[in-house]
């Protein structure tokens, strides 16, 4: 029997000793609507001794006021299946963090990352808007090539040598192009020059020289990049232009964020 | 950002050890269509935990990942370690949220390893257990006077201004003294100095904790000393943070030009390491530009003190609070084998008067349950050295 099967059997056997209200219907069957299996599992491991269990109510999001009250008392939090996502429960988790982070100012304080991610979304939407607009006007002016429909061809070479040639809109960064084409280029800070995870290596010196000089901020981030080369750049800062048509960029073997891979701390 | 080093290194090595042991025992194949689910538990929901979860979920279709965290909310140091005036670094939370939203991934807050659940229990329930709970303790200096009031760990100060629940009532006194001494010259030391010196109108627009902002509004700190036992070439900070602190409005930066003289070993270090070279160049540029200004026009001062290591803390008259730090001058001595340069005391001393000392000299992990732990280094003891 699998692990989960064994647990479920144990669980049914111990219905009487469950100790949680409304866990069972009157016919003795477990009330799955109110409790999740994971909550049972956590209780079974003895966690409920430290934490009060509350019924799992997927339709009713925890109200922010209730969260504030709960957080007023230390260590009496509920063990709930919290998902750190953008759904209502995820935002409730973020809101509660905002509550203890900033008493009085509330959850609205934890906005910087949303503002930045909104900017990136705006940038992406602008690109797609340009494309839509261009495709309509193209029908009218077939011979005229407008700058915002112009695409260049860029080849991404993966860690294992696999090549993928994609069409990149002029004005789009290499990071955005990689994300649009499902290429595995991480952009942890979403293009705000706070990490080195979109590190790419321009394989041809000619194309590297056509790029504008990196700014001090980009150089600061490149300092931390894994596998830095003479022709390394950050993908979020390389913007497509007609002169870069046919460029080949390689992804490094690994990236480094919040850590230094393989780093051996030296004794002082 | 280097503060995450201990955590992620530990987490990834432990993950690979557990995974390999499991795979050896079970003949598990990820390419097998009828393979059983792989249950993974990750202890700690900081960047180490989430990156491990992301890689696990991507690599194994059958992997189910549970992340447990002792706080009710996730993200670890991204929330409690990154300075409030660096919101762009916190954008990575979006990526972590996407990992958490995966149906094969669950987050359990308020579950503490050792208190609520033991490692033995986790081993019974999961195939793989990853320890990614980071390093929440600090290295000690081991010098006289370390127990005086007014001497704190930089980690607690950072938790305090970031609103971490463990340091909500951190007893930091910013009003009884106008000088703060920060021991260490890493990015954490620079963060702490920057928060103490930054103009309040700029701090007010960040997500700094309310109690910290009101304490900083009443703060009397006007001078901050960043003390390092070696030179500018060996400073552990990175160029971005250094550039930022040198450019704060309303702060005079003091760098002694005599400290910028380099030896041949220093030059070798800067040649090998691009980051160190740029940091050193920033120090030189700052020293030259500031030395041209004879009269200080601003009311706040930042002093970079090199080649000094703390020898003892000087108590106040009532012997309870710290009143100053006694520093010993050092010179660098190179190790021929490793070309590493050690700071060696010269027997000359000087003193800095200060009522607030923040120690930013490194971190240690905590042993929360019964598993092999190296108490000297403060890391989980791993038998096999694995690079991943």
DSSP state string for A142-206? SS---GGG-EEEEEEE-TTS-EEEEEEETT-BHHHHHHHTT-----TTTTSSS--TTEEEES-HH
Do the Cβ atoms of A100 and B163 come within 8 Å?
yes
Q: Is A75 left (phi over 0), alpha (psi -120 to 50) or beta?
A: left
Q: Please name the residue of chain A whose CA is at the shortest distance from the CA of residue B101.
A: A85
Do the Cβ atoms of B108 and A116 come within 8 Å?
no
Which of A42, A52, A268 is most worth mutating to test chain B (most B CB atoms within 10 A of its CB)? A268
Q: Which of B97, B163, B239 sits opposite A85 (nearest CB)?
A: B97
Q: Which of B96, B32, B107 is nearest to B69 (CA)?
A: B107
Any residues with CB less than 8 A from the CB of B2 and at least 6 apart, and which? A260, B186, B187, B236, B238
Phi, psi of A218 (to 5 degrees): -65, -40
Do the Cβ atoms of A268 and B240 come within 8 Å?
no
Do the Cβ atoms of A103 and B211 come within 8 Å?
yes
Q: Are strands B300-305 and B251-255 parallel, antiparallel or unpaired?
A: parallel
Q: Is the confidence at residue A53, as pLDDT, over 90?
A: no
Measured between beta carbons, the chain B residues lying within 8 angstroms of A101 are 79, 162-163, 207, 209
pLDDT per residue as tens digits for the range B122-153 = 989 999 999 999 999 999 999 999 999 999 99
Any residues with CB less than 8 A from the CB of B15 and at least 6 apart, and which? B52, B56, B128, B130, B132, B388
Q: What would the two tokens of residue B238 be? A: 């990175």
Least confident among A147-151, B169-173, B216-220: A147-151
Do the Cβ atoms of A112 and B207 come within 8 Å?
yes
Residue B168, burial from CB neighbour count under 10 angstroms (0-12, 13-18, 19+):
middle
Which of B4, B12, B88 is most worth mutating to test chain A (most A CB atoms within 10 A of its CB)? B88
Q: Which of B281, B204, B205 is nearest to B239 (CA)?
A: B281
3-state secondary structure of B357: strand
Local structure of residue B205 (DSSP, 8 states): T
**Better-scored residue on pLDDT, A76 or B138:** B138
Which of A112, A124, A175 is most worth mutating to test chain B (most B CB atoms within 10 A of its CB)? A112
Q: Are strands B63-68 and B128-131 parallel, antiparallel or unpaired?
A: unpaired
- Distance CA(A260)–CA(B4), nearest Å, equals 9
pLDDT per residue as tens digits for the range B87-101 = 889 989 999 999 999
Radius of gyration of chain A (CA): 26
Which of B163, B234, B345 is most worth mutating to test chain A (most A CB atoms within 10 A of its CB)? B163
Do the Cβ atoms of A83 and B101 come within 8 Å?
yes
Q: Which of B354, B42, B333, B312 is nearest to B174 (CA)?
A: B354
Q: What would the two tokens of residue A72 be? A: 């007023």
pLDDT at A45: 57
Q: Is the confidence at residue B242, as pLDDT, over 90?
A: yes
Mean pLDDT along residues A11-25: 48
Local structure of residue B88 (DSSP, 8 states): G
Do the Cβ atoms of B89 and A81 come within 8 Å?
no
Mean pLDDT along residues A141-157: 70
Q: Is B111 left (phi over 0), alpha (psi -120 to 50) or beta?
A: beta
Do the Cβ atoms of B240 and A220 come within 8 Å?
yes
- Distance CA(B223)–CA(B300), nearest Å, equals 6
- Distance CA(A178)–CA(A160), nearest Å, equals 16
pLDDT at B332: 92
Mean pLDDT along residues A209-231: 91
Q: Please name the residue of chain B whose CA is at the shortest distance from the CA of residue A87.
A: B101
Measured between beta carbons, the chain A residues lying within 8 angstroms of B89 are 189, 194-195
Local structure of residue B117 (DSSP, 8 states): B
- Average pLDDT of chain A? 63
Long-range Cβ contacts of B255-261 (<8 Å, 24+ apart): B255/B283, B255/B286, B255/B287, B255/B290, B255/B304, B256/B287, B256/B304, B256/B305, B256/B306, B257/B287, B257/B291, B259/B231, B259/B232, B259/B304, B259/B306, B259/B307, B260/B232, B260/B284, B260/B287
**ipTM over 0.85 threshold:** no
Q: Which of A45, A74, A223 sits opposite B238 (nearest CB)?
A: A223
Q: Please name the residue of chain B whose CA is at the shortest distance from the CA of residue A72.
A: B165
- With residue B9 as reference, give the H or E element that holds it: helix B5-26
Q: Which of A150, A153, A152 is nearest to A135 (CA)?
A: A150
Do the Cβ atoms of A85 and B101 come within 8 Å?
yes
Local structure of residue A33 (DSSP, 8 states): T
Mean pLDDT along residues A5-9: 57
Measured between beta carbons, the chain B residues lying within 8 angstroms of A230 are none
Q: Which of B136, B45, B135 is nearest to B96 (CA)?
A: B45
Phi, psi of B140 (to 5 degrees): -100, 150
pLDDT at B336: 76
Nearest CA distance, A251 vs chain B (angstrom): 17
Q: Which of B39, B117, B340 sits opposite A45 (nearest CB)?
A: B117
């Amino acid at each position: 029997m699998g692990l989960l099967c064994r647990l479920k059997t144990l669980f049914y056997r111990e219905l009487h000793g469950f100790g949680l209200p409304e866990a069972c219907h009157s016919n003795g069957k477990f009330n799955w609507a109110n409790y999740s299996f994971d909550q049972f599992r956590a209780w079974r491991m003895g966690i409920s001794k430290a934490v009060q269990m509350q019924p799992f109510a997927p339709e009713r999001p925890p109200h922010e006021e209730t969260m504030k009250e709960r957080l007023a008392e230390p260590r009496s939090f509920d063990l709930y299946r919290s998902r750190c996502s953008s759904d209502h429960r995820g935002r409730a988790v973020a809101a509660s963090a905002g509550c203890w982070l900033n008493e009085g100012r509330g959850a609205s304080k934890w906005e910087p990352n949303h503002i930045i991610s909104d900017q990136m979304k705006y940038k992406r939407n602008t690109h797609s808007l340009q494309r839509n607009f261009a495709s309509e006007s193209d029908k009218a002016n077939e011979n005229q090539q407008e700058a915002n429909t112009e695409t260049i061809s860029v080849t991404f070479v993966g860690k294992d040598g696999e090549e993928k040639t994609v069409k990149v809109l002029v004005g789009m960064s290499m990071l955005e192009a990689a994300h649009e084409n499902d290429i595995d280029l991480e952009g942890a800070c979403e293009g705000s020059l706070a990490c080195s995870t979109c590190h790419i290596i321009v394989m041809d010196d000619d194309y590297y020289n056509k790029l504008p000089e990196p700014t001090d901020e980009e150089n600061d981030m490149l300092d931390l990049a894994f596998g830095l080369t003479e022709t390394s750049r950050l993908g979020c800062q390389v913007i497509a232009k007609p002169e870069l048509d046919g460029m080949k960029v390689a992804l490094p073997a690994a990236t480094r964020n919040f850590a230094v891979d393989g780093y051996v701390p030296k004794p002082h | 950002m280097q503060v995450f080093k201990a955590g992620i290194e530990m987490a990834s090595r432990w993950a690979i050890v557990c995974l390999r042991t499991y795979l050896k025992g079970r003949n598990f194949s990820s390419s097998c269509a009828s393979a059983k689910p792989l249950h993974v538990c990750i202890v700690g929901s900081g960047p180490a935990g989430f990156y491990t979860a992301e890689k696990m979920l991507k690599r194994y279709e059958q992997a189910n990942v549970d992340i447990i965290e002792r706080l009710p909310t996730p993200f670890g140091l991204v929330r409690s370690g990154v300075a409030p005036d660096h919101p762009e670094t916190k954008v990575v939370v979006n990526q972590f949220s996407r990992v958490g939203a995966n149906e094969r991934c669950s987050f359990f807050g308020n579950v503490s390893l050792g208190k609520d659940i033991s490692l033995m229990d986790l081993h019974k329930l999961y195939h793989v257990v990853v320890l990614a709970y980071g390093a929440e303790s600090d290295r000690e200096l081991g010098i006289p006077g370390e127990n005086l009031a007014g001497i704190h760990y930089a980690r607690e100060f950072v938790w305090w201004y970031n609103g971490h629940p463990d340091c909500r009532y951190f007893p930091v006194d910013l009003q009884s003294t106008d000088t703060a001494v920060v021991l260490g010259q890493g990015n954490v030391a620079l963060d702490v100095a920057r928060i103490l010196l930054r103009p309040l109108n700029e701090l007010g627009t960040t997500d700094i904790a309310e109690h910290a902002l009101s304490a900083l509004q009443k703060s009397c700190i006007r001078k901050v000393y960043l003390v390092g036992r070696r030179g500018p070439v060996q400073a552990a900070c990175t160029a971005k943070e250094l550039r930022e602190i040198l450019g704060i409005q309303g702060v005079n930066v003091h760098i002694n030009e005599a400290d910028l003289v380099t030896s041949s070993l220093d030059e070798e270090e800067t040649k090998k390491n691009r980051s160190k070279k740029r940091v050193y160049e920033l120090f030189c540029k700052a020293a030259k530009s500031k030395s041209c200004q004879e009269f200080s026009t601003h009311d706040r001062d930042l002093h970079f003190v090199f080649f000094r290591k703390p020898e003892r803390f000087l108590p106040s008259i009532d012997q309870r609070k710290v009143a100053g730090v006694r520093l010993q001058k050092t010179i660098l001595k190179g190790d021929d084998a490793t070309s590493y340069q050690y700071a060696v005391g010269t027997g000359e001393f000087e003193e800095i008067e200060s009522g607030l000392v923040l120690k930013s000299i490194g971190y240690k992990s905590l042993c929360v349950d019964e598993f092999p732990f190296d108490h000297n280094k403060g890391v989980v003891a791993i038998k096999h050295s694995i690079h991943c």
